[in-house]
Amino acid sequence: MFDKILIANRGEIALRVIRACREMGIASVAVHSVADSDAMHVRMADESVCIGPNPSSQSYLSVPAIVAACEITGAQAIHPGYGFLSENANFVQVLEDHGITFIGPTAEHIRIMGDKITAKETAKQLGIPVVPGSDGGVPDVATAKKVAAEIGYPVIIKATAGGGGRGMKVARDESELEVAFRTARSESKAAFGNDECYMEKYLQRPRHIEIQVFGDGKGRGVHLGERDCSLQRRHQKVFEEAPGPCITPEERARIGKICADAIGKLNYIGAGTIEFLYEDGEFYFIEMNTRLQVEHPVTEAIFDVDLVREQIRVAAGEEMELRQEDLKIRGHAIEVRINAERLPNFAPCPGKITQYHAPGGLGVRMDSALYDGYSIPPYYDSLIGKLIVHGRDRPEALARLSRALGELIVDGVDTTVPLFHQLLAEPDIQSGNYSIHWLEKWLAKNF
């Protein structure tokens, strides 16, 4: 096992990894920008290294600075958290060249899944159901029309290099196709420096269902059921739950086995998430994330596993402890993302926290790097905490969420907490009846 791990991240996820290290008797190294000198992850780690100025491009994304920090401190492995360098194949390659272990999959797997077309191609070959669409990139409007006629309208045009929901355009019929295609291309060129686009059938009222997978890198893969992350604003998740309120045990077993087998066949190592759109009992692959997800705690709650510990163990060459036959769901878990944002526009709201009080009690987990007097810097993500609740069933989890939100105090900045109080009063949220469009429609009506 490693003696020392460096965490190439900040905020709540850095704390999450430090906690796992401490329980495993592994020393932790925090890295930070100048603005983060007083951050909780710096205080909590055994050692810390300042890796550069405030912009992430010069600190949390600086490969040379992070490698140097590893060499200075003697850390043998790096946990990337999510975001930043977590899905950067070049970073993983550089670590390999320096003899540092990356706690995550291989550079090759990251590369395959990071390109949307090869990812879809690979998924198809592995027997994972995909959305009907073009075979790879679509070169021109004429081809786009031909493909659309084959798969049927409406269609969605997506950037090959896309991410964060950008570079996507919907065409409801042929009259809309040319403009949609040209707009998607120029937007992808502007956002990603690459104008290649592909096409898919546009699903009208799907849910976002993602399967948590884990591989040992030696042919064995397991799945830890699904998370329903359909409540999204601008393709950003805000509320996640597990198990999915609309997924039957039979559906879970079927799609779970397909995913676990695929991970085994790939010799994939570590944690991953296979994302699907789900409509009328069918799953359609959209992408795979080759990292730990923000919303992983809901899965940890219902399966009683520590995914970060397991990531560290397999990265160190130990046998994967997870076994499919032991993985049984217990109860229901929900996570809400607490962002420092001002409603109704969700404008980032950095500033000083005058008072912070975390909720507690049975079935409550608060993952946050906040403390009294902390100043949220304006340079990074607005996520300041995740409140995760676990109950024996969904109604109990909802009641517990409402109770815990009532106990939470974050003074000094605006947060998304009022949004969740209102959401919990909605009959559709109470019953679990929502698609990926529900939240946007509700926000348009209520805010």
Active-site residue list: 291
What is the closest distance, in whole angstroms, from the C-beta atom of residue 276 to ligand ADP in the complex? 9
163 binds ligand ADP (CB under 6 A): yes
Cα dihedral 365/369/375/381 (nearest 10): -90
Sign of the Cα pseudo-torsion (428, 429, 431, 433, in order): positive
Instruction: Name the DSSP class of 382.
Output: S
Q: Rounded to the nearest 5 degrees, what angle is found at the Cα of 182, between the Cα atoms of 178 and 185?
A: 145
Q: Which stretch in 10-18, 163-171, 179-187, 300-308 sits in contact with ligand ADP by CB under 6 A? A: 163-171
Q: Which residues pair with 231 in a beta bridge?
A: 239
Residues 6+ apart with CB under 8 A from 260: 213, 221, 222, 223, 324
Residues 6+ apart with CB under 8 A from 394: 241, 245, 332, 432
- Locate tokens 């899944």: which residue? 113
Please say which residue, 72 or 149, places its beta carbon nearer to ligand ADP.
Answer: 149
Of 146, 205, 234, 235, the one binding ligand ADP (CB under 6 A) is 235
Dump the DSSP string for 286-354.
EEEE-S--TTHHHHHHHHT--HHHHHHHHHTTPPP---GGG----SEEEEEEEE-EETTTTEE--EE-S
Task: Print the binding letters for residues 73-112 with ligand ADP: x by CB under 6 A, - otherwise.
Answer: ----------------------------------------
Task: Print the binding letters for residues 382-421 with ligand ADP: x by CB under 6 A, - otherwise.
Answer: ----------------------------------------
Of 337, 436, 438, 439, the one binding ligand ADP (CB under 6 A) is 436
344 binds ligand ADP (CB under 6 A): no
Task: Print the binding letters for residues 236-275 with ligand ADP: x by CB under 6 A, - otherwise.
Answer: ---------------------------------------x
The span from the CA of 310 to the CA of 319, in Å, is: 9
Please say which residue, 236 or 267, places its beta carbon nearer to ligand ADP.
Answer: 236
What is the closest distance, in whole angstroms, from the C-beta atom of residue 317 to ligand ADP in the complex? 32
What is the closest distance, in whole angstroms, from the C-beta atom of residue 91 to ligand ADP in the complex? 19
What is the closest distance, in whole angstroms, from the C-beta atom of residue 135 to ligand ADP in the complex? 15
Q: Which stretch in 69-77, 83-91, 161-169, 390-398 sits in contact with ligand ADP by CB under 6 A? A: 161-169
**Contact set for ligand ADP, span 125-144 (CB under 6 A):** 131
What is the closest distance, in whole angstroms, from the C-beta atom of residue 170 to ligand ADP in the complex? 8
Please say which residue, 21 or 286, places its beta carbon nearer to ligand ADP.
Answer: 286
Of 27, 51, 77, 203, the one binding ligand ADP (CB under 6 A) is 203
Phi-psi region for residue 289, left (φ > 0), alpha (ψ -120 to 50) or beta? beta
CA proximity to 385, closest of 407, 70, 398:
407
Q: Which stretch in 25-33, 160-168, 259-267, 314-322 sits in contact with ligand ADP by CB under 6 A? A: 160-168
Residue 315 tokens read as 């990265």
39 binds ligand ADP (CB under 6 A): no
Of 202, 374, 380, 420, the one binding ligand ADP (CB under 6 A) is 202
Please say which residue, 35 or 131, places its beta carbon nearer to ligand ADP.
Answer: 131
Task: Print the binding letters for residues 285-324 with ligand ADP: x by CB under 6 A, - otherwise.
Answer: -xx-------------------------------------
Q: Which residues pair with 361 in a beta bridge?
A: none
Task: Print the binding letters for residues 172-201 with ligand ADP: x by CB under 6 A, - otherwise.
Answer: ----------------------------xx
341 binds ligand ADP (CB under 6 A): no
Residue type, 377: P
208 binds ligand ADP (CB under 6 A): yes
> In this structure, are residues 242 and 226 in contact, taking their beta carbons and an 8 Å threshold?
yes
The span from the CA of 46 to the CA of 30, in Å, is: 8
| Tally of helices (H runs) and strands (E runs) in the chain | 15, 22
Q: Which helix (H) or strand (E) holds 284?
A: strand 282-289
Residues 6+ apart with CB under 8 A from 41: 7, 9, 10, 11, 14, 15, 18, 30, 32, 369
276 binds ligand ADP (CB under 6 A): no
Binding site for ligand ADP (CB under 6 A): 131, 156, 162-165, 168, 200-203, 206, 208, 235, 275, 277, 286-287, 436
